[in-house]
Amino acid sequence: MQRTLLRISGHGPRIENKNTQSALRNPRSKGFTLIELAVVVAILGVMIALVAPKLGEIGEANLKRSARHLTGMIRFLHEESQAKKMEYRLRFDIQDGRYWAESFKIHSESAGEFQKTTSVIAGEGSLSGQTTFRDIKAGSHPDDPYILFTPDGWVENAIIHLRDGSDRDFSLLVKPLTANTELREGYVEER
């Protein structure tokens, strides 16, 4: 339903359609003033200034996610080696940021070798985001880094050095008897 208005002004009576009346012709039209727009822009600027530093923590979140996944793999392999009475090891590819579980398979009475595990839980993993391995200090095999898990519950003493996308270092310390891990900020040399 359309309403029409009869306006009487100094120029004589006019009939206008209410729906076609432009907001530009109406001096009381609702809109934003320049001051209101400036206040909104200022509020947005303050919010961005507060949030922008937190965006750097996304890299730290990826690093912590990677550390949690590594911790889960370490605990699982510790418990699995005791339950199945087998040797396991967690191998690392430092350049590609990958790691995987291997179990010791016996071929004959005097021969055996480590083979990649096909377990769903302890399969293969990779570091999240821009997280990288800086290096891994484990046992006496620096060129072929791995952590050994024995059936009697012993875990090789290890320090996994991680670096996030902002070039901050973190160290994941593996305790030899309990397989508990501790994530510390910075590059930890030895315990």
Digit-coded pLDDT (tens) for 28-70: 667 788 898 899 999 998 888 887 766 655 667 888 888 889 9
Backbone angles phi, psi at 176, to 5 degrees: -70, -30
CB 164 within 8 A of CB 170: yes
Query: Which domains does the chain show, CATH number per domain?
Result: 4-55 (no CATH), 59-185 (3.55.40.10)
Residue for token digits 């005097």?
110
b/e map of 134-170 (b: 16 or more CB within 10 Å)? eebbbeeeeeebbbbbbeeeebbbbbbbbbbeeeeeb
Contacting residues for 23 by C-beta, under 8 A, at least 6 apart? 29, 31
**Rounded-to-10 torsion of CA 108, 111, 114, 119:** 10
Q: How confident is the model at residue 80 (pLDDT cuts 50, 70, 90)?
A: very high
Specify the DSSP class assigned to residue 127: -
Lowest mean pLDDT among 4-8, 131-135, 139-143, 146-150: 4-8
pLDDT at 45: 87
| Global pTM value | 0.67
Distance CA(120)–CA(111), nearest Å, equals: 27
The two structure tokens encoding residue 4 = 């029409």
The partner residues of 180 in beta bridges, in order of sequence, read: none
| CA 121 vs CA 10, 27, 85, 101: distances in Å | 87, 70, 18, 10
pLDDT at 23: 47
Lowest mean pLDDT among 30-34, 40-44, 75-79, 135-139: 30-34
Lowest mean pLDDT among 84-98, 112-126, 177-191: 112-126
